[in-house]
Amino acid sequence: YCAGNSDHTYNKGPWVVHAGTRPLTTEDDDEGGPEGKKKKQDPRARKTIGSVGRKIHHRIVQVINEDGENLGNMHRADVIRMLDERGLKLVPLRENADPPVYRLMSGKQIHQEQLKLREKQKAKSGAGPTQIKELTFSSDIAQHDLETKVKQIQQWIEKRHHVRLTVRKGSASVEKMVSKKTL
């Protein structure tokens, strides 16, 4: 028995045994865990490009080599052997086809495809409605404040935002400004 520990822990020679504790992972955890809820994935969500490794679920697959040439239908054992010989990775192109289509790619090619996909997604998300930025200032604004606002407007225009400016009449009327200049 180990002093200071719970009554479920005891020494058995060089081993410490924890009785009555759950293992860290179980098969039940994969099926939703204790909550019984499993997060659903959006079927419309675009999957990232990645290697399937040796997990080829179909017995016969159509293979395209790294240069884009169709190698035809191959048995998964032959595909795995080819992966090992060439040091390449297998990427699914069309898994729903019969037979499913896979492509042999190097790690560098996969990385480049992921970058292209990421840039396309950025461009697609940026194609949404343009944002309108509105700026209001007084007609008797100080020179430094005006320069600061002009810099902000330039940044917005570079980011392709629409800018709406509103100039309010200042607290001092034009006549008062002219009279101050003459004094």
Does residue 130 contact residue 161 with C-beta atoms inside 8 Å? Answer: yes
Q: Calculate the alpha carbon distances from 146 to 90, 151, 153 in Å.
A: 58, 9, 10
Quick one: pLDDT at residue 1?
47
- Cα 29-33-38 angle, rounded to 5 deg: 105
Structure tokens at 154: 């330039």
Six-digit token string for 63: 């293979």
- pTM as predicted: 0.43
pLDDT for the residue numbered 150: 92
Residues 8, 151: Cα–Cα separation, whole Å:
68
CA distance 43 to 41: 6
Taking alpha carbons only, the member of 77, 80, 74, 81 closest to residue 100 is 74
Note the pLDDT of residue 24. 47
**Pairing of β 162-168 and β 132-138:** parallel
| Distance from C-alpha of 103 to C-alpha of 95, rounded to nearest angstrom | 11
SS3 61: strand
Q: Which SS3 state, helix, strand or coil, does residue 166 take? A: strand
Angle at 32 between CA 31 and CA 33, to 5 degrees: 105
CB 62 within 8 A of CB 102: yes
pLDDT tens digits, the chain, 183 residues: what are they?
445 544 455 555 565 555 554 454 444 444 444 444 555 554 544 456 666 777 788 888 898 888 888 888 988 888 888 888 888 888 888 888 888 898 888 888 888 888 988 888 877 766 566 788 898 888 888 899 999 999 999 998 988 889 998 888 876 655 655 555 555
pLDDT value of position 28: 46
Domains located in the chain, CATH noted:
60-126 (3.10.20.80), 132-182 (3.30.110.10)
Residue 162: in which H helix or E strand, if any? strand 162-168
